[in-house]
Amino acid sequence: MATRTEQILLVSDVASDFNELSLNRFDLEVSEQDTVAGIINGIEMCGYVCTHLQDPRELSELSNANPKCVVFSIWSGQKNRNRRAIVPSICEAHDIKYIGADPYAAMITGDKELSKSVCSEFGIQSPAGILIRSVDQSARAALLEFPIVVKPLMEGGSIGITQESKVSDLESAQRQISALLQHHEPPILCEEFKGGREISFCIIGSKMITHIEAMEVRLKGEEGYFEESLFSMHDKRSEDRREKHHFVNVTDEMPADLIERVRSTYLALGKVDYMRIDGKFTDEFWCLELSTDPSISTVSLFANSYYSIGKSYRDMISDILSTRLSNDGGDI
């Protein structure tokens, strides 16, 4: 395969291990080394030269040296509510072509409450919730119907979420709010718990959607787990729990009108390029999170949305790159 003219600059911090998990872990969205290696390999299989950067501050210098470079960021960052918008903002400021959400979409989807507003515009409902900005306000959690979930507003990857985050009374809610506020910046989101199937819509596309599949997360040997339980940090990151993950394509089981509402929500966000819409499904879909920085490792749910329809990991990477690059390496 001929080498493309563009060089891909893959921006990603790298995690060590996740042996110890607690409410003060802020790096649960940081990619592991094998994830980064797999993405680099996928990019190179598409015919591009790929350079890995761990520090976004290197972007301006490298882009000046290679004006045809394209930035592909899976950089997470930590302890910064603006972190998802940092890399695309650098790219916008220096007129660098990049793949992924623009700063506006990154900020909206990084805020669970703002995400709900976008979803509601297109008829996708979310659980009722309220924001708590201090311990003094924690009694407001009683305005919701228990059980509720107490979690950080502007984090993903189940950061700050354990099974103790689901509480059944006000006293427990107040304890959990207080515990989170010791480590996380306010506001804290309190949200009514919805039991049901754990469903994610995996979507790729620019002006036109080229891939949309609904995937269900199941845990082997624990049927119906998500009827009563959260998809906690331990479920996502501890090795013994990850071995139980089983991803099933359930697109054919989703109502046609729901898929259209998901399409409309995605396209309304503008420059996103690829995204996951996560939620619970009962007789209706309840959106919990819009993720414009989903895991795209070789074993991720997103990759499995390709494997489940007979496509390869290279196909997935190629489709993501093609949102900003044509098949011959030029602009779309």
The pLDDT tens digits of the residues spanning 194-250 come to: 999 999 999 999 989 999 999 999 999 999 999 999 999 899 988 899 999 999 999
| The predicted structure's pLDDT at residue 49 | 94
The answer to whether 125 and 142 are in contact (CB under 8 A) is no
Give pLDDT, residue 1: 46
- Angle, helices 112-121/256-268, rounded to nearest 10 degrees: 120
9/321 Cα distance (integer angstroms): 12
pLDDT of 329 higher than 50? no
Residue pLDDT, tens place only, 11-33: 998 887 777 777 777 677 788 89
Mean pLDDT within 285-311: 97
Q: Which of 15-24, 157-166, 186-195, 269-278 bottoms out in mean pLDDT, i.e. has the lowest?
A: 15-24
Model confidence pLDDT, tens digit, residues 264-276 = 999 999 999 999 9
pLDDT classification of 4: cutoffs 50, 70, 90: low
pLDDT of residue 216: 98
What is the reported pLDDT for 123? 97
Residue 331, pLDDT > 70, answer: no
Give the residue-averaged pLDDT of 89-104: 95
Among 28-32, 56-60, 110-114, which range has the highest average pLDDT?
A: 110-114
- For the residues 64-70, what does the mean pLDDT come to? 82
Residue 311 C-alpha from the chain's centroid: 22
Please say whether the beta carbons of 197 and 142 come within 8 A.
no
Q: CA angle, corner 159, sides to 155 and 162, nearest 5?
A: 135
With vertex at residue 17, the alpha carbon angle to CA 12 and CA 19, rounded to the nearest 5 degrees, is: 150
Strand 7-11 and strand 70-73: the pairing is: parallel
- The pLDDT score that the predictor gives to residue 298 is 97
Lowest mean pLDDT among 119-123, 153-157, 181-185: 153-157
- CA–CA gap between residue 120 and residue 129 (Å, rounded): 13
CB neighbours of 35 closer than 8 A, spacing ≥ 6?
74, 295, 297, 298
Q: What's the whole-number mean pLDDT along residues 111-119?
A: 95
Res. 66: pLDDT tops 70: yes
Q: What is the pLDDT of residue 29?
A: 78
Residue with tokens 């409309």: 264
Q: Exposed/middle/buried for 207, CB within 10 Å: 0-12, 13-18, 19+?
A: exposed
Q: From 291, 297, 159, 294, select the one nearest 231 (Cα to Cα).
A: 159
